Amino acid sequence: MPSTDRFIGKVAVVTGGGSGIGRAVTLRLAAEGADVHVLELSMEAGEETASLAHSRGGSVRILPADVADALSVKTAFAALPRLDILVNNAGVAHVGTAVSTLPEDFERLYGINVRGVYHCLHFGIPLMLKHAGGSIVNLASVASKVALPDRFAYGMTKGAVLAMTLSAARDFVGEGIRCNCVCPARVHTPFVDGFLAKNYSGKEAEMFARLSAAQPIGRMGTPEEIASLVAFLCSDEASFITGSAYDIDGGFTLLR
């Protein structure tokens, strides 16, 4: 993992940093000098991430929070000394069409994937405004731009993330705040392994190969690859970039 000093003196928040992409982003920012605060519902998962970061000399603090709950997020942000970097990563997925998706599933995805991003923008941006701006990166998806089968509610939420990204970028472009999003295709995380074990017991390897082949490059992405792009967008090297949605999808959208 690269180790530079480009985030020394920066305070960062990463939501859902206990596993997968969120963990990789947390470790990457910490390795490059950021003082990272992880908003995480699972304290056990969060502490695992913090332990990994500390073993590599990084600074990570876990703040227990449910991004779907406004008071929980407000309390977490109130504990911050300042805010320079915000990575809205926390999210959940769901398989289903408009017919098969139950109302409670729709509300659950909306609460975490949409309201969660809003809460962090709502309480995070004022902190950035107090200290001459900052950088926001939201985790969207290729589902923000193209229709995926059986991803009705998930696609709805990621489309909203893209729209919120553009809106926040426009509203605060004159106040030193940049806001971008990344749009990954399939990334090999523990979620994928759990999904295959639950839905394709005994056929995990076959389905993993099929899901991997959906990307023209021939494989899924890695959390570390997503973290590299996120770190770049958070850095001063990307100071001329705002309101952009970056595909990181192994060529997935080439076929759409």
| CB contact at 8 A, 132 and 176 | yes
Q: Model confidence over 127-173: pLDDT tens digits?
A: 999 998 999 999 999 999 999 999 999 999 999 999 999 999 999 99
CA distances from 198 to 108, 122, 193, 203, 209 (A): 20, 36, 9, 10, 16
CA-nearest of 208, 213, 214, 210 to 193 is 208
Mean of the pLDDT values across residues 46-54?
97
One-character DSSP codes across 4-53: -STTTT-EEEEETTTSHHHHHHHHHHHHTT-EEEEEES-HHHHHHHHHHH
How crowded is the C-beta side of 29, counted as CA atoms within 13 Å?
38
CA-nearest of 218, 100, 203, 77 to 154 is 100
What is the predicted pLDDT for the residue at 130? 96
- On the question of pLDDT at 227 being above 60, the answer is yes
Mean of the pLDDT values across residues 162-185?
98
C-alpha 199 chain-centroid distance: 24
pLDDT band at 87 (very low <50, low <70, confident <90, very high): very high
Close Cβ partners of 213 (under 8 Å, ≥ 6 residues apart): none
The better pLDDT of the pair 1, 186 is held by 186
Question: Is 110 part of the annotated catalytic residue set?
Answer: no
How crowded is the C-beta side of 153, counted as CA atoms within 13 Å?
21
Mean of the pLDDT values across residues 31-58?
97
C-alpha 19 chain-centroid distance: 11
Give the separation between CA 239 and CA 52, rounded to whole angstroms: 29
What is the predicted pLDDT for the residue at 75? 98
| CB contact at 8 A, 111 and 161 | no
Q: Model confidence over 51-78: pLDDT tens digits?
A: 999 999 999 999 999 999 999 999 999 9
What is the predicted pLDDT for the residue at 96? 95
pTM over 0.85: yes
What is the predicted pLDDT for the residue at 2? 59
Per the residue annotation, which of 118, 154, 200, 246 is the catalytic one?
154
